[in-house]
Amino acid sequence: MNVKITKAFNIIDKIEKFGGTAYIVGGAVRDSLLGVTVEDVDIATSLTPEEMMKVFPKVIPVGIDHGTVLVRHASDSYEVTTYRTEAGYKDFRHPDEVTFVRSIEEDLARRDFTINAMALNKDLEIIDPFGGREDLNNHEVRAVGEAYKRFNEDPLRIMRALRFASQLGFNLHHDTQLAIKEQASLLSKISVERLAVEFEKMCEGKEYHYLLQLMKQLKVHIYLPVFKNAPNQIENIPKVKLNGFKELIPFYCEYASTFTVMDWVKDWKLSNQVKRNSLQLKSAVDSYKYKPIQSVLYDLPFNLIESFGNVLNALGLKVDPAEFKAVYEGLPIHSRRELNFQAFDLFHIFPLSQKGPWIGEYLYEIEHAVATGQIPNEKSAIKEWIKSWSRPETD
Ligand code: ATP
Ligand code: MG
Protein backbone atom coordinates (compact mmCIF):
# COMPACT_ATOMS: atom_id res chain seq x y z
CA MET A 1 0.00 0.00 0.00
CA ASN A 2 1.25 3.42 -0.95
CA VAL A 3 2.60 5.43 2.02
CA LYS A 4 0.59 8.52 1.13
CA ILE A 5 -2.58 6.45 1.27
CA THR A 6 -1.61 4.84 4.56
CA LYS A 7 -0.88 8.25 6.03
CA ALA A 8 -4.27 9.53 4.81
CA PHE A 9 -5.95 6.83 6.90
CA ASN A 10 -4.81 8.75 10.00
CA ILE A 11 -6.92 11.69 8.86
CA ILE A 12 -9.89 9.43 8.19
CA ASP A 13 -9.42 7.95 11.64
CA LYS A 14 -9.69 11.36 13.29
CA ILE A 15 -12.82 12.19 11.27
CA GLU A 16 -14.43 8.90 12.29
CA LYS A 17 -13.63 9.52 15.96
CA PHE A 18 -15.51 12.82 15.60
CA GLY A 19 -18.52 10.88 14.32
CA GLY A 20 -18.10 11.46 10.59
CA THR A 21 -17.31 9.21 7.65
CA ALA A 22 -14.53 9.70 5.11
CA TYR A 23 -13.02 8.01 2.06
CA ILE A 24 -10.05 8.41 -0.21
CA VAL A 25 -11.49 9.36 -3.60
CA GLY A 26 -10.67 10.13 -7.22
CA GLY A 27 -7.22 9.85 -8.73
CA ALA A 28 -5.56 8.23 -5.71
CA VAL A 29 -7.94 5.25 -5.79
CA ARG A 30 -7.58 4.93 -9.55
CA ASP A 31 -3.78 5.12 -9.49
CA SER A 32 -3.34 2.75 -6.56
CA LEU A 33 -5.52 0.14 -8.30
CA LEU A 34 -3.37 0.59 -11.40
CA GLY A 35 -0.26 0.18 -9.28
CA VAL A 36 1.19 3.54 -10.36
CA THR A 37 2.62 6.20 -8.06
CA VAL A 38 0.01 8.15 -6.16
CA GLU A 39 0.86 11.85 -6.14
CA ASP A 40 -2.05 13.54 -4.38
CA VAL A 41 -4.53 12.00 -2.05
CA ASP A 42 -7.99 13.59 -1.98
CA ILE A 43 -10.44 12.76 0.78
CA ALA A 44 -14.23 13.11 0.79
CA THR A 45 -16.07 13.39 4.09
CA SER A 46 -19.53 13.72 5.62
CA LEU A 47 -18.24 16.55 7.84
CA THR A 48 -18.85 20.16 6.83
CA PRO A 49 -15.87 22.54 6.60
CA GLU A 50 -16.89 24.04 9.96
CA GLU A 51 -16.83 20.59 11.56
CA MET A 52 -13.47 19.88 9.89
CA MET A 53 -12.07 23.00 11.53
CA LYS A 54 -13.07 21.58 14.89
CA VAL A 55 -11.32 18.26 14.21
CA PHE A 56 -8.21 19.86 12.71
CA PRO A 57 -7.46 23.27 14.22
CA LYS A 58 -4.94 24.18 11.53
CA VAL A 59 -6.82 23.57 8.26
CA ILE A 60 -6.48 26.00 5.35
CA PRO A 61 -9.87 26.92 3.87
CA VAL A 62 -8.86 26.70 0.20
CA GLY A 63 -12.34 26.38 -1.33
CA ILE A 64 -14.80 26.73 1.47
CA ASP A 65 -17.76 27.48 -0.88
CA HIS A 66 -17.21 24.12 -2.51
CA GLY A 67 -16.62 22.44 0.82
CA THR A 68 -12.85 22.03 0.47
CA VAL A 69 -10.25 22.49 3.18
CA LEU A 70 -6.56 21.61 3.11
CA VAL A 71 -5.29 19.49 5.99
CA ARG A 72 -1.58 19.31 6.75
CA HIS A 73 -0.50 16.02 8.22
CA ALA A 74 2.99 14.54 8.69
CA SER A 75 4.45 17.04 6.21
CA ASP A 76 1.88 16.22 3.50
CA SER A 77 -1.21 18.16 2.41
CA TYR A 78 -4.58 16.59 1.78
CA GLU A 79 -7.64 18.21 0.20
CA VAL A 80 -10.67 17.20 2.19
CA THR A 81 -14.04 17.96 0.59
CA THR A 82 -17.50 17.56 2.05
CA TYR A 83 -19.70 15.08 0.13
CA ARG A 84 -21.57 17.21 -2.35
CA THR A 85 -23.62 17.29 -5.51
CA GLU A 86 -23.59 19.98 -8.12
CA ALA A 87 -26.53 21.39 -9.97
CA GLY A 88 -26.64 23.46 -13.16
CA TYR A 89 -23.64 24.84 -15.01
CA LYS A 90 -25.22 27.84 -16.68
CA ASP A 91 -21.91 29.63 -17.15
CA PHE A 92 -20.19 26.35 -18.14
CA ARG A 93 -17.59 27.08 -15.51
CA HIS A 94 -18.92 26.81 -12.00
CA PRO A 95 -21.88 24.84 -10.77
CA ASP A 96 -24.73 27.23 -9.94
CA GLU A 97 -25.35 25.43 -6.73
CA VAL A 98 -23.27 23.15 -4.54
CA THR A 99 -25.29 21.07 -2.13
CA PHE A 100 -23.67 19.14 0.67
CA VAL A 101 -25.01 15.61 0.91
CA ARG A 102 -24.63 12.88 3.51
CA SER A 103 -23.56 9.85 1.45
CA ILE A 104 -20.42 9.03 -0.49
CA GLU A 105 -22.51 7.43 -3.27
CA GLU A 106 -24.21 10.76 -4.05
CA ASP A 107 -20.80 12.43 -4.12
CA LEU A 108 -19.36 9.83 -6.50
CA ALA A 109 -22.26 10.41 -8.92
CA ARG A 110 -21.12 14.00 -9.62
CA ARG A 111 -17.64 12.86 -10.70
CA ASP A 112 -16.57 12.81 -14.34
CA PHE A 113 -15.46 9.28 -15.27
CA THR A 114 -16.14 5.87 -13.75
CA ILE A 115 -12.41 5.33 -13.12
CA ASN A 116 -12.40 8.60 -11.11
CA ALA A 117 -15.60 7.79 -9.25
CA MET A 118 -14.43 5.19 -6.76
CA ALA A 119 -13.83 5.55 -3.04
CA LEU A 120 -11.60 3.60 -0.66
CA ASN A 121 -12.20 3.26 3.06
CA LYS A 122 -9.89 2.40 5.94
CA ASP A 123 -10.81 -1.29 5.73
CA LEU A 124 -9.55 -1.25 2.14
CA GLU A 125 -13.07 -1.68 0.78
CA ILE A 126 -13.78 -0.05 -2.55
CA ILE A 127 -17.07 1.73 -3.19
CA ASP A 128 -17.57 1.47 -6.92
CA PRO A 129 -21.18 2.18 -7.93
CA PHE A 130 -20.44 2.83 -11.64
CA GLY A 131 -18.17 -0.05 -12.60
CA GLY A 132 -14.90 1.87 -12.39
CA ARG A 133 -12.85 -1.25 -11.67
CA GLU A 134 -14.24 -3.02 -14.72
CA ASP A 135 -13.42 0.00 -16.89
CA LEU A 136 -9.90 0.08 -15.44
CA ASN A 137 -9.49 -3.56 -16.43
CA ASN A 138 -10.90 -2.85 -19.89
CA HIS A 139 -8.71 0.22 -20.25
CA GLU A 140 -11.63 2.50 -20.91
CA VAL A 141 -12.50 6.09 -20.03
CA ARG A 142 -16.28 6.23 -19.66
CA ALA A 143 -18.45 9.07 -18.39
CA VAL A 144 -20.41 8.51 -15.19
CA GLY A 145 -24.10 8.33 -16.15
CA GLU A 146 -25.34 9.79 -19.42
CA ALA A 147 -22.30 10.98 -21.35
CA TYR A 148 -24.16 13.60 -23.40
CA LYS A 149 -25.56 15.23 -20.25
CA ARG A 150 -22.25 15.13 -18.40
CA PHE A 151 -20.31 16.92 -21.16
CA ASN A 152 -23.13 19.39 -21.55
CA GLU A 153 -22.94 20.19 -17.83
CA ASP A 154 -19.22 20.82 -17.94
CA PRO A 155 -17.52 20.79 -21.35
CA LEU A 156 -14.06 20.83 -19.76
CA ARG A 157 -14.70 17.12 -19.23
CA ILE A 158 -14.20 16.71 -23.00
CA MET A 159 -10.56 17.70 -22.60
CA ARG A 160 -10.24 15.73 -19.39
CA ALA A 161 -11.47 12.56 -21.13
CA LEU A 162 -8.80 12.97 -23.81
CA ARG A 163 -6.03 13.67 -21.32
CA PHE A 164 -6.85 10.68 -19.09
CA ALA A 165 -6.94 8.44 -22.15
CA SER A 166 -3.51 9.73 -23.16
CA GLN A 167 -1.98 9.52 -19.67
CA LEU A 168 -3.29 6.04 -18.96
CA GLY A 169 -3.12 4.67 -22.50
CA PHE A 170 -6.88 3.94 -22.42
CA ASN A 171 -9.58 4.01 -25.09
CA LEU A 172 -12.62 6.25 -24.94
CA HIS A 173 -15.85 4.35 -24.45
CA HIS A 174 -18.10 4.44 -27.52
CA ASP A 175 -20.88 6.58 -25.98
CA THR A 176 -18.33 8.91 -24.45
CA GLN A 177 -16.70 9.39 -27.84
CA LEU A 178 -20.01 10.07 -29.52
CA ALA A 179 -21.00 12.62 -26.89
CA ILE A 180 -17.66 14.39 -27.33
CA LYS A 181 -18.07 14.56 -31.09
CA GLU A 182 -21.57 15.97 -30.80
CA GLN A 183 -20.69 18.64 -28.28
CA ALA A 184 -17.09 19.63 -28.95
CA SER A 185 -18.25 23.14 -29.88
CA LEU A 186 -19.10 23.76 -26.21
CA LEU A 187 -15.35 23.95 -25.56
CA SER A 188 -15.49 27.54 -26.75
CA LYS A 189 -17.33 28.32 -23.49
CA ILE A 190 -14.39 27.18 -21.36
CA SER A 191 -11.62 29.52 -20.31
CA VAL A 192 -8.41 29.16 -22.31
CA GLU A 193 -6.35 28.72 -19.13
CA ARG A 194 -8.32 25.64 -18.09
CA LEU A 195 -8.15 24.17 -21.61
CA ALA A 196 -4.39 24.73 -21.61
CA VAL A 197 -3.90 22.69 -18.42
CA GLU A 198 -5.68 19.66 -19.90
CA PHE A 199 -4.18 19.98 -23.39
CA GLU A 200 -0.67 20.12 -21.95
CA LYS A 201 -1.31 17.05 -19.78
CA MET A 202 -2.72 15.24 -22.80
CA CYS A 203 0.39 15.97 -24.86
CA GLU A 204 2.61 14.82 -22.00
CA GLY A 205 0.70 11.54 -21.73
CA LYS A 206 2.19 8.35 -23.14
CA GLU A 207 -0.49 7.96 -25.86
CA TYR A 208 -0.34 11.60 -27.07
CA HIS A 209 0.13 10.29 -30.60
CA TYR A 210 -3.15 8.40 -30.71
CA LEU A 211 -4.99 11.15 -28.83
CA LEU A 212 -3.92 13.90 -31.22
CA GLN A 213 -5.32 11.76 -34.01
CA LEU A 214 -8.52 11.05 -32.11
CA MET A 215 -8.85 14.74 -31.34
CA LYS A 216 -8.78 15.39 -35.06
CA GLN A 217 -11.24 12.61 -35.80
CA LEU A 218 -13.72 13.92 -33.21
CA LYS A 219 -13.12 17.49 -34.46
CA VAL A 220 -12.22 18.75 -31.02
CA HIS A 221 -9.12 20.68 -32.07
CA ILE A 222 -11.08 23.18 -34.17
CA TYR A 223 -12.38 24.69 -30.92
CA LEU A 224 -8.92 25.10 -29.40
CA PRO A 225 -6.64 28.16 -29.60
CA VAL A 226 -4.24 28.22 -32.59
CA PHE A 227 -5.70 25.01 -34.06
CA LYS A 228 -8.99 26.79 -34.72
CA ASN A 229 -7.19 29.11 -37.13
CA ALA A 230 -4.93 26.42 -38.56
CA PRO A 231 -6.74 23.07 -38.21
CA ASN A 232 -4.16 21.28 -40.35
CA GLN A 233 -1.52 21.79 -37.70
CA ILE A 234 -2.97 18.83 -35.82
CA GLU A 235 -1.56 16.61 -38.60
CA ASN A 236 1.95 17.34 -37.36
CA ILE A 237 2.42 14.78 -34.67
CA PRO A 238 5.67 14.88 -32.69
CA LYS A 239 7.83 11.79 -33.21
CA VAL A 240 8.60 11.66 -29.48
CA LYS A 241 6.62 12.81 -26.47
CA LEU A 242 7.12 16.49 -25.71
CA ASN A 243 7.04 18.00 -22.25
CA GLY A 244 4.84 21.01 -21.98
CA PHE A 245 4.09 24.04 -24.10
CA LYS A 246 7.71 25.19 -24.04
CA GLU A 247 8.63 22.18 -26.22
CA LEU A 248 5.36 21.88 -28.12
CA ILE A 249 5.45 25.46 -29.38
CA PRO A 250 8.88 25.36 -31.08
CA PHE A 251 7.92 21.99 -32.55
CA TYR A 252 4.68 23.24 -34.10
CA CYS A 253 6.20 26.58 -35.19
CA GLU A 254 8.90 24.70 -37.03
CA TYR A 255 6.30 22.82 -39.03
CA ALA A 256 3.90 25.65 -39.68
CA SER A 257 5.78 28.88 -39.86
CA THR A 258 2.58 30.88 -40.33
CA PHE A 259 2.26 30.70 -36.54
CA THR A 260 4.90 32.30 -34.37
CA VAL A 261 5.81 31.62 -30.77
CA MET A 262 4.00 34.84 -29.87
CA ASP A 263 0.79 33.67 -31.57
CA TRP A 264 0.82 30.56 -29.41
CA VAL A 265 1.61 32.46 -26.24
CA LYS A 266 -1.17 35.01 -26.87
CA ASP A 267 -3.85 32.56 -28.03
CA TRP A 268 -3.25 30.05 -25.26
CA LYS A 269 -2.63 32.85 -22.69
CA LEU A 270 0.62 31.29 -21.53
CA SER A 271 2.99 32.62 -18.87
CA ASN A 272 6.04 34.78 -19.47
CA GLN A 273 8.25 31.91 -18.46
CA VAL A 274 6.79 29.62 -21.14
CA LYS A 275 7.19 32.49 -23.60
CA ARG A 276 10.85 32.99 -22.73
CA ASN A 277 11.68 29.30 -22.89
CA SER A 278 9.82 28.72 -26.16
CA LEU A 279 11.50 31.70 -27.80
CA GLN A 280 14.93 30.46 -26.74
CA LEU A 281 14.21 26.94 -27.95
CA LYS A 282 12.80 28.14 -31.27
CA SER A 283 15.84 30.29 -31.84
CA ALA A 284 18.13 27.33 -31.03
CA VAL A 285 16.24 25.11 -33.50
CA ASP A 286 16.69 27.82 -36.17
CA SER A 287 20.41 28.27 -35.43
CA TYR A 288 21.01 24.52 -35.46
CA LYS A 289 20.47 24.59 -39.24
CA TYR A 290 23.49 26.75 -39.99
CA LYS A 291 25.63 27.24 -36.85
CA PRO A 292 28.06 24.82 -35.20
CA ILE A 293 26.44 22.93 -32.32
CA GLN A 294 28.88 24.49 -29.81
CA SER A 295 27.64 27.93 -30.74
CA VAL A 296 23.96 26.92 -30.44
CA LEU A 297 24.52 25.33 -27.03
CA TYR A 298 26.55 28.29 -25.81
CA ASP A 299 23.50 30.54 -26.38
CA LEU A 300 21.11 28.18 -24.60
CA PRO A 301 20.63 28.04 -20.81
CA PHE A 302 21.83 24.66 -19.53
CA ASN A 303 18.37 23.78 -18.18
CA LEU A 304 16.92 23.94 -21.72
CA ILE A 305 19.40 21.57 -23.35
CA GLU A 306 17.29 18.50 -22.62
CA SER A 307 14.24 20.22 -24.12
CA PHE A 308 16.26 21.28 -27.16
CA GLY A 309 17.17 17.63 -27.77
CA ASN A 310 13.53 16.61 -27.32
CA VAL A 311 12.31 19.15 -29.88
CA LEU A 312 14.90 18.05 -32.46
CA ASN A 313 13.96 14.41 -31.88
CA ALA A 314 10.27 15.26 -32.22
CA LEU A 315 11.15 16.79 -35.58
CA GLY A 316 12.76 13.48 -36.55
CA LEU A 317 16.41 14.51 -36.30
CA LYS A 318 17.55 11.74 -33.90
CA VAL A 319 19.93 13.53 -31.56
CA ASP A 320 21.19 12.57 -28.11
CA PRO A 321 20.47 15.19 -25.40
CA ALA A 322 23.10 13.58 -23.12
CA GLU A 323 25.70 14.20 -25.81
CA PHE A 324 24.57 17.82 -26.08
CA LYS A 325 25.10 18.23 -22.34
CA ALA A 326 28.60 16.79 -22.62
CA VAL A 327 29.40 19.17 -25.48
CA TYR A 328 28.10 22.09 -23.42
CA GLU A 329 30.21 21.12 -20.42
CA GLY A 330 33.28 20.89 -22.61
CA LEU A 331 32.89 24.41 -24.06
CA PRO A 332 35.97 26.62 -23.42
CA ILE A 333 33.71 29.34 -21.98
CA HIS A 334 30.07 29.39 -20.84
CA SER A 335 29.43 33.11 -20.63
CA ARG A 336 30.90 36.46 -21.66
CA ARG A 337 32.19 36.90 -18.11
CA GLU A 338 34.70 34.08 -18.67
CA LEU A 339 36.11 35.76 -21.77
CA ASN A 340 39.67 37.07 -21.36
CA PHE A 341 38.80 40.11 -23.35
CA GLN A 342 36.64 43.14 -22.45
CA ALA A 343 34.97 46.05 -24.19
CA PHE A 344 37.86 48.39 -23.30
CA ASP A 345 40.28 46.04 -25.10
CA LEU A 346 38.34 46.87 -28.26
CA PHE A 347 39.03 50.61 -27.78
CA HIS A 348 42.74 49.87 -27.59
CA ILE A 349 42.57 48.22 -30.98
CA PHE A 350 40.24 50.82 -32.54
CA PRO A 351 41.10 54.04 -30.63
CA LEU A 352 39.52 56.26 -33.26
CA SER A 353 36.08 54.65 -33.05
CA GLN A 354 33.25 55.99 -30.93
CA LYS A 355 31.04 53.91 -28.65
CA GLY A 356 28.11 52.24 -30.36
CA PRO A 357 26.27 49.01 -31.05
CA TRP A 358 29.37 47.69 -32.81
CA ILE A 359 30.91 46.88 -29.40
CA GLY A 360 28.19 44.37 -28.59
CA GLU A 361 28.34 42.93 -32.09
CA TYR A 362 32.13 42.51 -31.95
CA LEU A 363 32.02 40.91 -28.50
CA TYR A 364 29.32 38.54 -29.73
CA GLU A 365 31.57 37.40 -32.59
CA ILE A 366 34.55 37.01 -30.25
CA GLU A 367 32.77 35.02 -27.58
CA HIS A 368 31.29 32.65 -30.16
CA ALA A 369 34.67 32.17 -31.83
CA VAL A 370 36.15 31.29 -28.42
CA ALA A 371 33.21 29.10 -27.39
CA THR A 372 33.46 27.08 -30.61
CA GLY A 373 37.23 26.69 -30.25
CA GLN A 374 37.99 28.74 -33.35
CA ILE A 375 40.42 30.86 -31.33
CA PRO A 376 41.89 30.33 -27.85
CA ASN A 377 40.60 32.31 -24.86
CA GLU A 378 43.77 34.43 -24.68
CA LYS A 379 43.89 38.18 -24.98
CA SER A 380 46.84 38.24 -27.39
CA ALA A 381 45.30 35.64 -29.71
CA ILE A 382 41.95 37.44 -29.69
CA LYS A 383 43.70 40.76 -30.46
CA GLU A 384 45.55 39.26 -33.39
CA TRP A 385 42.34 37.81 -34.73
CA ILE A 386 40.48 41.13 -34.49
CA LYS A 387 43.25 43.08 -36.14
CA SER A 388 42.49 41.21 -39.32
CA TRP A 389 38.98 42.79 -39.27
CA SER A 390 38.20 46.15 -40.79
CA ARG A 391 37.62 49.11 -38.48
CA PRO A 392 34.02 49.38 -37.21
CA GLU A 393 31.88 51.97 -38.91
CA THR A 394 30.71 54.62 -36.46
CA ASP A 395 29.05 57.98 -37.04
P1 ATP B 1 -4.49 13.82 -11.44
O2 ATP B 1 -3.64 12.69 -11.04
O3 ATP B 1 -4.20 14.31 -12.80
O4 ATP B 1 -4.59 14.92 -10.42
P5 ATP B 1 -7.20 13.34 -10.63
O6 ATP B 1 -8.15 12.24 -10.93
O7 ATP B 1 -6.79 13.53 -9.21
O8 ATP B 1 -5.94 13.17 -11.57
P9 ATP B 1 -8.13 16.05 -10.53
O10 ATP B 1 -8.29 17.04 -11.62
O11 ATP B 1 -7.14 16.33 -9.47
O12 ATP B 1 -7.87 14.65 -11.21
O13 ATP B 1 -9.57 15.88 -9.87
C14 ATP B 1 -9.79 15.08 -8.71
C15 ATP B 1 -11.12 14.32 -8.84
O16 ATP B 1 -12.21 15.26 -8.86
C17 ATP B 1 -11.27 13.51 -10.11
O18 ATP B 1 -10.72 12.21 -9.97
C19 ATP B 1 -12.77 13.50 -10.30
O20 ATP B 1 -13.37 12.52 -9.49
C21 ATP B 1 -13.20 14.86 -9.79
N22 ATP B 1 -13.27 15.89 -10.84
C23 ATP B 1 -12.31 16.80 -11.19
N24 ATP B 1 -12.70 17.62 -12.16
C25 ATP B 1 -13.96 17.24 -12.45
C26 ATP B 1 -14.95 17.71 -13.39
N27 ATP B 1 -14.69 18.72 -14.21
N28 ATP B 1 -16.16 17.09 -13.38
C29 ATP B 1 -16.42 16.06 -12.55
N30 ATP B 1 -15.56 15.58 -11.66
C31 ATP B 1 -14.34 16.15 -11.61
MG1 MG C 1 -5.57 15.27 -8.48
In a domain, 231, yes or no: no
Task: Dump strand ranges (E) for the chain.
Answer: 22-25, 42-45, 60-63, 68-73, 76-82, 84-87, 97-100, 119-120, 126-127, 140-141, 171-172
- Segment 352-376 shows an average pLDDT of 92
Decide: 331 and 294 in contact? Cβ < 8 Å: yes
Are 306 and 356 in the same domain?
Answer: no
Which residue's CA is minimally distant from atom 3 of ligand 1? 27
Task: Tally the domains of the chain.
Answer: 4
Range of the domain at 373: 332-395
CA neighbor of 342 nearest in space, from 383, 372, 385: 383
Q: Indicate whether 30 and 49 sit together in one domain.
A: yes
Does residue 130 register a pLDDT over 90? Answer: yes
* Ligand 1-lining residues (CB < 6 angstroms): 26-27, 39-40, 42, 111-112, 116-117, 154, 156-157
Q: What's the number of CA atoms in the CB half-sphere (13 Å) around residue 158? A: 32
- 250 C-alpha vs ligand 2 centroid, how far in Å? 29
Q: Is 249 helix (H, G, I), strand (E, B) or coil?
A: helix
Same domain membership, residue 50 and residue 169: no
Phi, psi of 291 (to 5 degrees): -110, 155
Residue 15, strand partner residues: none
Pair 127, 3 in one domain: yes
Q: How far is the CA of 116 from the centre of ligand 1 (A)?
A: 7
CATH number at residue 6: 3.30.460.10
Model pTM score:
0.90
> What pLDDT is stored for residue 76 in this prediction?
86
Final residue of a structural domain among 328, 352, 382 = 328
Task: Answer yes or no: is 230 within a domain.
Answer: no
pLDDT of residue 64: 86
Cβ-based neighbour number of residue 370 at 10 Å = 25
Predicted local distance difference test score (pLDDT) of residue 39: 86
Domain of 375, CATH number, reads 1.10.246.80
Q: What integer pLDDT is reported at residue 91 of this predicted model?
A: 59
State the pLDDT confidence band at 93, using cuts at 50, 70 and 90. low
Say whether both 118 and 16 belong to one domain. yes
The residue ranking higher by pLDDT, 139 or 1, is 139
Residue 390 pLDDT? 75
365: exposed, middle or buried (C-beta count within 10 Å: 0-12, 13-18, 19+)?
middle
| 53 closest CA partner among 16, 26, 15 | 15
Alpha carbon nearest to ligand 1 atom 30, residue: 111
In tens, the pLDDT along 34-88 reads 999 998 999 999 999 999 999 998 899 898 888 999 999 888 899 999 999 976 5
Q: Are residues 109 and 153 in the same domain?
A: no
Ligand nearest to the CA of 157: 1
For residue 313, tell me if it sits in a domain.
Answer: yes
| Domain-terminating residue out of 116, 132, 148 | 132
- Rounded CA separation 63/71 (Å): 12
Tally of CB atoms within 10 A around 218: 19
Do residues 253 and 308 both lie within one domain?
A: yes
Q: Which of 132, 165, 188 is the last residue of a domain?
A: 132
Ligand 1 atom nearest to CA at 30: 6
Q: Ligand 1, residues 25, 33, 111, 144: which to mutate, most atoms within 8 A of Cβ? A: 111
Query: How far is CA 78 from each of CA 20, 190, 315, 355, rounded to the nearest angstrom?
Result: 17, 27, 41, 60
